[in-house]
Amino acid sequence: MFFFSAFVSAVLASQASAAVVSGSKASSFAGSTSTFQFPPEGVTATASLINSLFPDASEVGFAGPTPTGDEAESVATAPALSPVKGFFPLVRPDTSDEKGKTFNVVDSWANLSPMQSVKSFGLDNATEQIPEGCKINQVFVLHRHGARYPTSGSSPASFAATVHSAAGNGTFVATGPLEFLNTWTYRLGAEILTPFGREQLFELGVGTRVKYGDLLKNFTGLPVWRTTSEERMVDSALHFAAGFFGVQSYQTSYYQLIEIEQQGFNNTLAPYDQCPNANNDISGLGSQATSAWNNVYLVDAQKRLAPFLPGFNLTISDLSAMQTLCPYETVALGYSAFCDLFTEEEWKGFAYSIDLSFWYGNGPGNPAVSAQGIGWVQELVARLTQTPITTFDTTTNDTLVGNNITFPLDQPIFVDATHDTVISAILPAMNFTTLAAGGPLPLDHIPTNRTYKVQEISPFASRLIGQVLSCPASDTPTHIRWILNDGVLPQTGINGCGEDPNGLCEINAFIAGMKQRIEEVDFAFDCFGNYTFSLSNDTITNGQFPQ
């Protein structure tokens, strides 16, 4: 069977169409949009050619020896695990003030950064490796999609349109460090995975197989793994599966459940569509906070760069968009000229602007956030206790979750694909208070005791791993712990889970703590209640409306 078209998603790549223009002349091409699509329109692999000239490997034969080896379980057998620290083949950018410094601009892209391992969330000696004397019985993988193009109509595309409009009016002449804008074209698509994003999820699938593959021996049927219907979500799930099972066998090795991501459909992996307060002024708190901070940290950049765009009104919003273009162009095209326009302090400010956006819009400082994450927590409890959900009063989907075929309860490996803002909602729903220990984020400076960093929580291809363990080793689970982007999370905020150097919590206590959280979170009011909330009195740290 021909699997290639099912495995490789359509790529919105790019080809430059800019004319060569000197730095002293305006160009009508500045900011114009350039796109490329492959395969060419109307061209596809045909069955007749495949069958006659390009048969698959099973028809060609002559495969040579094919014995399989035993499954890997490096989290239990390796003396140490290698951290994720690279982002090949992307080019690491510099800052404008000191090139070649040890400061890494990539680490200041927050949710637009490639996932890199977090060293610690306060448990300095704990790692993803199974604690000595314990055995892994089950694993939960909740991961974000890979690197993607910007959201449709967001600031990068708007900035390009503004530049293009100015060029069309003959008033646009960029000089100095901004001279590249004279011939710059906007080469980004919208929302789907970039080639690098596909690489990330394929590698995550491979890594998960190497770390937890031995658990496949405990399956009696095929796994059912979940994603949502958006293109980048399906693409991410398929690349994960191809990395985990291999490109020749992944399509017949598991079942991919695709849940509709759209208003009117309950979906715990995209819960905001069924939470009105996630789509109104309550959700806008994050944007308000970011706007306030942008007007603090980008003032110097505006003064420094505006003289290089005479006749162009370079606003704070433009500068924010230019910073946003840096990570988006890099993860799509491998390099961006926007990156080294800004100083180290301005890149730290950019990271903090996204921290503010998430804290007040998609994290502990927003009163409707835990309600969005609590549906997945209900599903987690059902899986841990192998007890079907019978009350559907949050974002759980009774059609899918109420069916033991589409929502099995006894899998050794669960894999759910979701979004950055959903991971950031599930964490306060579960009450991982360590992340919010620094308290509400100020709008006028970066605090020294900041514990909430989106770079560590929801970068591209981030993953929250739940390890169900038996300690001492047996076939009966006794403990559970959680690893966020390779950093072990303390569970001290969960009722019944005390301090533990390895982040362990006795599993019955954890389940009881999750059931308590389900009772504490008022989904109906927090998502549907007609209430007002403002930044001036926002002191919450648990993602719930103050009780």
Which CA distances in Å does 444 have to 349, 352, 537? 10, 11, 16
The H or E element containing residue 484 is: strand 479-484
Q: What is the pLDDT along the chain (547 residues), one digit of tens a residue?
A: 223 223 223 222 222 233 233 333 444 578 888 888 888 888 888 888 888 888 888 888 898 998 889 999 999 998 889 899 889 999 998 888 876 678 899 999 999 999 999 999 999 999 999 999 999 999 999 999 999 999 999 999 999 999 999 988 887 899 999 999 999 999 999 999 999 999 999 999 999 999 999 999 999 999 999 999 999 999 999 999 999 999 999 999 999 999 999 999 999 999 999 999 999 999 999 999 999 999 999 999 999 999 999 999 999 999 999 999 999 999 999 999 999 999 999 999 999 999 999 999 999 999 999 999 999 999 999 999 999 999 999 999 999 999 999 999 999 999 999 999 999 999 999 999 999 999 999 999 999 989 999 999 999 999 999 999 999 999 999 999 999 999 999 999 999 999 999 999 999 999 999 999 999 999 999 999 999 999 998 999 999 999 8
Angle (deg, nearest 10), helices 316-333 and 344-361: 90
Buried residues in 312-339 as b, exposed as e (16+ CB within 10 A): bebebbbbbbbbbbbbbbbbbbeebbbb
pLDDT at residue 42, rounded to an integer: 86
Among the residues of 8-128, which ranges form H helices?
47-52, 57-60, 74-77
| Amino acid at the residue 314 | L
**In this structure, what token pair is assigned to residue 369?**
């956030």
- Whole-number pLDDT of residue 1: 28
CA separation for the pair 380, 216 (Å, rounded): 20
> Cα separation of 368 and 16, whole Å?
43
- The domains found in the chain, sorted by start residue, are 4-69+153-187+300-354 (no CATH), 112-150+192-283+362-537 (3.40.50.1240)
Phi, psi of 135 (to 5 degrees): -135, 140
CA 136 vs CA 218, 262, 410, 466, 477: distances in Å:
11, 36, 15, 10, 8
Output the pLDDT for position 13: 28
Which pLDDT value is given to residue 12? 25
Token digits of residue 497: 């889970």
β-pair partners for 255 = 224
* pTM for this predicted structure: 0.92
What is the DSSP pairing of strand 135-144 with strand 413-418? parallel
DSSP state of 359: H
Length in residues, the chain: 547
Q: Please report the pLDDT score of residue 14 as a whole number.
A: 29
Q: Which residues contact 55 (CB under 8 A, 6 or more apart)?
A: none
Nearest alpha-carbon partner for 425 in 518, 361, 520: 361
- Decide if 65 contacts 47 (C-beta within 8 A): no
DSSP conformation class of 522: -
Instruction: For 196-280, list the strands marked E by DSSP.
Output: 224-228, 255-259
The encoded tokens of residue 116 equal 């890199």
* pLDDT of res. 94: 83
DSSP H or E segment with residue 12: strand 11-13
User: How many other C-beta atoms can be found within 10 angstroms of the C-beta atom of residue 429?
Assistant: 28
**3-state DSSP assignment of residue 174:** coil
CA angle 94, 151, 172 (to 5 degrees): 60
* Contact indicator for 384, 509 with CB cutoff of 8 Å: no
Q: What is the DSSP string of 377-435?
A: HHHHHHHHHT-------SS--HHHHT-TTTS-S--SEEEEEE-HHHHHHHHHHHT-GGG
Q: Residue 531 and residue 277: Cα distance in Å, rounded? A: 9
pLDDT given for residue 224 in this prediction = 98
Token couple for 50:
């495949």
Rounded (10°) CA dihedral 347, 353, 359, 363: -70
Instruction: Count Cβ atoms within 10 A of the Cβ of residue 169 and give its class: 0-12 exposed, 13-18 middle, 19 or more buried.
Output: exposed
Q: What is the predicted pLDDT for the residue at 99?
A: 66
State the DSSP H helix or E strand holding residue 165, giving kind and residue range, or none if neither. Answer: helix 155-168
